Amino acid sequence: MALPSFNWWGKGSHKGTPVVVTMENPNWSMVELEAPSESDFQTSTVTQEKARGKNAKQLTWVLLLKAHRAAGCLTSVASTLFSLGSTIRRRVISGQTDNNDSTPSTENKTVKTRFYNCIKAFLWLSLLLLGFEIAAYFKGWHFGAPKLQLQYIFTAPFGVRDLFDGLYTRWVLIRVGYLGPPLQFLANVCIILFIVQSLDRLVLCLGCFWIRFKKIKPIPKQDAIVDLEENGFFPMVLVQIPMCNEKEVYQQSIAAVCNLDWPKSKILIQVLDDSDEPTTQLLIREEVHKWQQDGARIVYRHRVIRDGYKAGNLKSGMSYSYVKEYEFVAIFDADFQPAPDFLKRTIPHFKDNEDVGLVQARWSFVNKDENLLTRLQNVNLSFHFEVEQQVNGVFINFFGFNGTAGVWRIKALEESGGWLERTTVEDMDIAVRAHLHGWKFVFLNDVECQCELPESYEAYRKQQHRWHSGPMQLFRLCLPDIIRAKISMWKKFNMIFLFFLLRKLILPFYSFTLFCIILPMTMFIPEAELPAWVVCYIPATMSFLNILPTPKSFPFIVPYLLFENTMSVTKFNAMISGLFQLGSAYEWVVTKKSGRSSEGDLVSLVEKETKQQREESEPNLDETKTDILREQKSRQKKHNRMYTKELALAFLLLTASARSLLSAQGGLELGWLPNENFGRRGLAESSVHRLLSSRFRF
């Protein structure tokens, strides 16, 4: 059977009706197919026209749908911005800012807002200059065209130009002649300080690498270990736990200290409670009584007159007559949980080392991964212990006492004058005075003591304020004693220049001045320049070195840079207040704790709380429940605060970055004018000044 021709299929000019192939039987015979007729072609043409019309309608609907979605996005963005603005306005009106802090403070409000007013004035000035520069950009003061568009300024009489051109020309002259040189000088000074501090940081890192490479660490003498393990020679140790209104953590710290592996007859625990809340006093007193019934040698001490903050509390604990029977004193803050073998790993370092006055252990943190703030704090404190404390302890035998997780020889405390209430850094004060009396310090990087990090920015900022204002107070008081001390010139240089000036004063000064003041000013006054290696390369390298002790924090290197830039405001303000004895220099606020513990402590605490609830009477339980409910209600009323100084600084840097983008698009920057207009490339600023002055005489 002859098959029909299928050439019409290959032409492809028209499409006919669908062709169906029917398989009648297993022999795969095919039914004869007829070719499409002319009527089929006419029908397909009409169908195509209908399909085109349908496709056009579908495209229209798609475009309308996308336009509707875009309008919805714009509406949602507008509503979000409106709600954000309403929230900011509501918080400002209700006083939910750091300027309206409800925490009791001895700081004068005038002093407290003075620094913020300076930043705010600088912010408004930068906004005014940014608007001025944008207007000048659209008026033609830029290099948008191949030829300099300022040429008409030099070829036309002054009367033809409008008032804005005259004002901007005067501003350019003031920049070149009066603002640029002093700003460049200040920038050069800060760059020198920055280089010196970076070299110090690099030397510390090299020292840490050397310690790791040589595996250097303090090792107690063998006979000291033998005396403890075989001969059973245990010296008398006094343990002090100072606390103040810290009901979140008192149980775990008392439990950890009472579980220290030391003969009970050779240890006495003092709980030095400065709490002014009756409920907290009752809870701590009952906890001490419970451990007394379990056989622990522990006493509760509460001061009626609470002078001198922590220093006064420790001083009162050392004033009892029975303290003379003890040779060493270990100090732990309320949130610290020493391991059971803490004393066995620290006390042997005093054996046959009569000049050792302090053995300091390293801190570890139970909540270092709680949020971004705790992760960034862990970076700073890990570098402090791993690099600064360890290097100074190995090579100099001097470092600042961290205030807790350390063991003092009581003789060293007494010879150094004991605890003094003259500053808010009593730990650094006693360390400096002990070093001036010839005592040496030992830092143990492999002995850790668990503690907590502040989990809120408010608590962390107040802690950093105390840590950076106190050293400046102490420097003013100790400088004459350091100069008169009978120690080597190297030790005097190390203590005055490296310990105080470079690491306590210069570091916060240049961090804020260089990166938060001078850098934004160079955007508006481009005649003063900062090299790229100062702005980018060295800070990135220093941040890289800071994160080396915590390799897991490398993904947070960019937030760490921004975090340090933000904290420079608080640190600089604290440094200035401590140096010039302003109202906030003597402010002491106890860092808020959340009561977090290690996994092992949580189990024991649950068992102890269950046992305590069975032994407590019903009235005490009712009072405790009432206090807990009241505390929960107060926590529910708390809101996130707006920190005005940090926000003002952020907007200041934002305006400076906008000015930088304007310069990148062709904004006027004298000193690199093109040769098409002035005959040579790189016309000097003095030449521009002469040209402008000769054309416009003011």
CB 296 within 8 A of CB 269: yes
Q: Which residues pair with 300 in a beta bridge?
A: 271
- DSSP assigned state of 548: T
Structure tokens at 279: 């409920």
Q: Which of 273, 427, 429, 601 is catalytic?
A: 427
C-alpha 299, offset from chain centre: 38
Structure-block tokens of residue 430: 């006693």
Using DSSP bridges, classify how beta strands 328-331 and 237-243 pair: parallel, antiparallel or unpaired.
parallel
- Residues 6+ away with beta carbon under 8 Å from 201: 542, 545
The torsion angle over the Cα atoms of residues 402, 404, 407 and 413, rounded to 10 degrees, is 70
Q: Is 697 exposed, middle or buried (0-12, 13-18, 19+ CB in 10 A)?
A: exposed
- Closest among 215, 439, 220 to 344, alpha carbons compared: 220
Q: Is 500 exposed, middle or buried (0-12, 13-18, 19+ CB in 10 A)?
A: buried
C-alpha to C-alpha distance for 23 and 190, rounded to whole angstroms: 92
Which helix (H) or strand (E) segment holds residue 242: the answer is strand 237-243
Residue 441 is given by DSSP the state E
Q: Is 335 a catalytic residue?
A: no
User: Please, are residues 416 and 431 in contact by the beta-carbon 8 Å criterion?
Assistant: no
β-partners of residue 240 are 270, 331
Catalytic residue among 274, 333, 335, 601: 274
- Sheet with 406-409, side-by-side order of all strands: 298-302, 267-273, 237-243, 328-331, 406-409, 356-365, 440-451
Compute CA 306 distance to the chain's CA centroid, rounded to the nearest angstrom: 32
Instruction: Please tell me the distance from the alpha carbon of residue 621 to that of residue 616, in angstroms, as a whole number.
Output: 7
Cβ proximity of 277 and 245 under 8 Å: yes
Q: Give the whole-angstrom CA distance, residue 334 versus residue 241.
A: 6
Q: Is 622 part of the annotated catalytic residue set? A: no
Number of other residues whose CB lies within 10 A of the CB of residue 140: 16
Say if residues 272 and 318 touch (Cβ distance below 8 Å): no
Could you tell me how far CA 437 lies from the centroid of its own chain? 36
Question: Does the CA dihedral 418-421-426-429 come out positive or negative?
Answer: negative
Q: Which residue has the tokens 């039987």?
A: 25
* Structural Rg of the chain based on CA atoms: 37
- Rounded distance, CA 283 to CA 298, Å? 15
Per the structure block, which two tokens stand in for 698?
């003011």
Q: Give the residue numbers annotated as catalytic, written as ranges.
A: 274, 427
